[in-house]
A and B are shown apart, each in its own frame.
Chain A
Amino acid sequence: MNTSALVVMLATLLLVTGLMIYFFIRVLNAPPKPEPDSYLENDDDDPERQLPNR
């Protein structure tokens, strides 16, 4: 590959992949909010929430 194409490609791929991983890790490491929250998986005491298969 020519140098300018290689530089643009690598810079873009690294930037986009890096930011995608960074934000996803931030989501995984974010402390959960107190119940009732928006999600069913960690929900066992919120009667308003609908069961998934209903």
Chain B
Amino acid sequence: MSANKESWGSRVGLILAMAGNAVGLGNFLRFPVQAVQNGGGAFIIPYLVCFLVMGIPLLWIEWSMGRFGGKFGHHSTPFILDTMHKNRLWKYIGVFGIWTNIAVAAYYCYLESWTLSYVFHSLGGTFNGLDQNGVADFFNHYVNLDTSTTGIPYEPIVFFVICLLLNTWILSQGLAAGVERVAKVGMPLLIIFGIFLAYKGFTITAGENGAINDSSVGLNFLWTPDYTQLWSPSVWLAAAGQIFFTLSVGMGTIHCYASYVRSKDDIALNAMSAGWMNEFVEVVLGGAILIPISIGYLGIDRVTELVQLGGLGLGFKTLPYLFFQWGPVLGAVAGVMWFGLLFFAGITSSLAMGTPWIGFLQDEFNWRRKPAAWSFGMIVLLLGMPTVLFFNYGVFDEYDYWAGTVSLVVFALLESVLFAWVFGMDKGWREITSGADIQVPAVYRFIIKFITPLLLLWVFIGSLITPKGGDWGKALAGEWILDDGSIINKLKNTSLKRQLAEATDPVVIAQLQDTLFFVNASRILLAAVFLSIALLVYIAYKKRLREGRI
């Protein structure tokens, strides 16, 4: 018998935990950058369309798969998928739902530890008096493990370990007393901090506190629609990708949380409530902070340049400097709020990443919650250390690409096919609507069966063979050169090899060779973790056979 007899404390707690799982750093750092790079205000149209035809269906699919598996005492995807069809291979597809979480947690907890550290540094006034380069240098030194302003040796490692200990301890307290309690405190605080910063983002006046633009300039930049971009497949691909990352679908965490819901209880309304809460945080709060504040102080040209480097640079290298333009006290308060909201966004997601592994050990090997939680912490520490130590050699990005990007699309595609075509839409629809507190629109039966899998297939193929520069017109006309960001070229290390061939400086060549080594080593490590989990699933399956549970 499984040692797992846990439960959610309340329905609101479950929704906040599920929304917390979805709300992550990407809501504040990735969404505005994607919107700016893909047509400004016009990005919102493909984004919302993808939410309706891919995001909501996937939420319903995953919630109902989780609740269905929970009926049989399963709380992780390998055996949740196994209950849905007699083919034994499905449980190995379900390995994605544990592997992705462990691999993502390994680098995500490091990212989360930066936010914790930056809260501390904002409070301590580290950024007060530094110029923009000084704040950017602080970040560069931080990830290089060079110097420490606090005097703590290897400060990033210390914060990483603190962050992991915190996650592990909360997970060891259980669902209701740990994960749910954090969500109930963290989500409202996140929203309050977000509203304060959004208010500041909306009220910047040129000439005050060193601002060079009114907030309207930044808002225009973000929201002015460029409808010509609507015809670009790259924009739709970016919108679909953003929906993936923001909802945390294709990971296995939603299945795990929903597996603790009983079959007569609602999932349809819960999924909508948690999903729209995530959209509120992303679109309303996320869209009102990073870009308007940055443009207010730096201008459009500089921000356009910075946006090319992604949201992390803006969030960690630029905003701390800008906050201190509001004075030392308000600067410190804004810094605490910004990194505090990022921390809450991060921890509610990383806690979710721990639950499938813990559920798996409880269900299959009768582990108690506490040792299962500590084993998660230990694995994440071991797997995460390469991302800390070799951050500048692309290990962090490699984990993010394979576990945090490609794997989500692959798993979501396979689970949508399983749900709609193998498990069957009749049974699937019954699962979605059973106990529902809302009328699920009948059109979703069609969408889930046809549109969602096709869209996912398109996203996967689009990522596999992305044409150079995202120029689909040229590619379809016959000149199909793969982009360096396509999965195929990534796998072949095309970009790194080209840089290596073009390099002449011995120092640069040595750095690139090391990067190539660490990139390949990261992939082998991630593949080894996947195979190890698959082996555990096999052992669990044999154990079930021996015990007559199959």
Chain A residues in contact with chain B, CB under 8 A? 1-2, 4-6, 8-9, 12-13, 15-17, 19-20, 23-24, 26-28, 30, 33, 36-43, 48-50, 52-54
Contact = CB atoms under 8 A, between A and B. Distances in A.
Contacts of B177: 52-53
B276 A5 contact: no
Contacts of B284: 13, 16-17
Contacts of A16: 276, 279-280, 283-284
A45 to B, nearest CB: 14
B514 interface: no
Contacts of B283: 12-13, 16
Given A23-B269, A26-B437, A39 B41 contact: no
Contacts of A33: 264-266, 435
A20 B437 CA distance: 16
A43 B262 CA distance: 13
A38 B223 contact: no
Contacts of B279: 16, 19-20
Contacts, number: 123
Contacts of B310: none
Interface of B: 5-15, 40-42, 44, 48, 173-174, 176-177, 216, 219-220, 222-225, 260-262, 264-266, 269-270, 272-273, 276-277, 279-280, 283-284, 369, 435, 437-438
B203 to A, nearest CB: 13
Contact of A17 (B12, B220, B280): B280
Contacts of A6: 223
Nearest to A24: B273
Given A16-B284, A53-B173, A37 B41 contact: no
8 contacts: A1-B223, A4-B224, A12-B223, A17-B280, A19-B279, A20-B276, A20-B279, A33-B264
Given A4-B225, A20-B280, A39 B220 contact: no
A27 B261 contact: no
The binding surface of chain B is classed by DSSP as helix
Contact of A4 (B41, B266, B270): B41
A11 to B, nearest CB: 9
Contacts of B15: 24, 27
Contacts of B222: 5, 9
Given A27-B11, A37-B262, A1 B174 contact: no
B7 A49 contact: yes
Nearest to A29: B437
A50 B213 CA distance: 56
B41 A9 contact: yes
B265 A37 contact: yes
Given A33-B435, A39-B9, A39-B14, A52 B176 contact: yes
Contact of B10 (A20, A30, A36, A39): A39
A33 B262 CA distance: 11
A41 to B, nearest CB: 4
A49 B14 CA distance: 16
